[in-house]
Structure 1
Amino acid sequence: MDFINTGIEEIAVDIRTLEELVKKHDLVLAGQWDYERMTFDKKYTVSDGVYYLRVYGITPGDVGKDEGVVEFITPQLGKHYYPHGVEYGEDEFYPAFVVNDSKKTLAALVKDLQTFNLK
């Protein structure tokens, strides 16, 4: 499930600022990064499975060296299927609580990020 029109796509922030801000919203980087992109996840464990809100960032800098400005692309909500991974399809069922909390998280994150927006 894509979260469109959140405003996050119009934001760019310094990578060092970003890492502290996302923690405030229960988003973690963990190992989901390479040199030019990163994925921040918020995990939801509910009775019927595990869901992830994913916020994607890209940078021409070097994530490993904490260098660069991060821009964002459309966040997604997906359901985890062991052992295959996370599915994002429109045919997936997403509990209302998870969808609503994801929207609230994104709105609060965008509000905080706008303070540091470099665009």
Structure 2
Amino acid sequence: MKLEVNGIEDSVLNLKPLDHFMGEHAFIRAGQWDYDRVTYDYKIGSKEKNITYYIRIPGYAVEGDVDRGNAVIKLMAPLLGKHYYPHGVEYGENENFPQSLVERATGIVEKLKVDIKNYKQ
């Protein structure tokens, strides 16, 4: 599910400050990258048995190389997904999410947006 948070999608930042901001807000890049793409994930636990949700913010290099650390990244729309063991996370529009979860996820991304906006100015 695409999260409607204006100000994240199409933001362009250097990789190193972006990694810093994401880490400050508990978004992890870990091994989710290649030479021209990155993915940042935020894990949201649930009281439901065996259910975990994720906020994912993907991006791609508009210049430079992620591997070399000199990339300039353009962020894409944040997504909310649900993990299905053992198949993985589904981010499709057909997923049903509790409204409280959507509000929580939107709030998390809104806080990140403030840092990104302040950096860009």
- TM-score, structure 2 as length reference: 0.88
Measure how far apart 1:86 and its partner are.
0.9
Per-residue displacement from partner, 1:34-91 (whole Å, max 9, x unpaired)? 1111111110121220110001111032111111211111110000111211112233
Measure how far apart 1:2 and its partner are.
0.3
The 1-side partners of 2:93 and 2:15 are apart by 31
CA contact (8 A) 1:53 1:102 kept: yes
Measure how far apart 1:32 and its partner are.
0.7
Aligned match of 1:96: 99
Instruction: Determine helix, strand or coil for the equivalent of 1:41.
Output: strand
Aligned match of 2:39: 39
CA contact (8 A) 2:9 2:75 kept: yes
CA contact (8 A) 1:41 1:55 kept: yes
Give me the identity figure in percent: 37
The 2-side partners of 1:13 and 1:89 are apart by 27
**What pairs up with 1:1-119 in 2 under 5 angstroms?**
1-48=1-48, 49-59=51-61, 60-117=63-120
The 2-side partners of 1:54 and 1:94 are apart by 15
Distance 1:46 1:5, change over 3 A: closer
CA RMSD of superposed structures (Å): 1.6
Task: Tell me how many residue pairs correspond in the alignment.
Answer: 118
Distance 1:87 1:57, change over 3 A: same
The 2-side partners of 1:90 and 1:13 are apart by 28
CA contact (8 A) 1:6 1:106 kept: no
Instruction: Determine helix, strand or coil for the equivalent of 2:76.
Output: strand
Give the gaps of 5 or more residues in structure 1: none
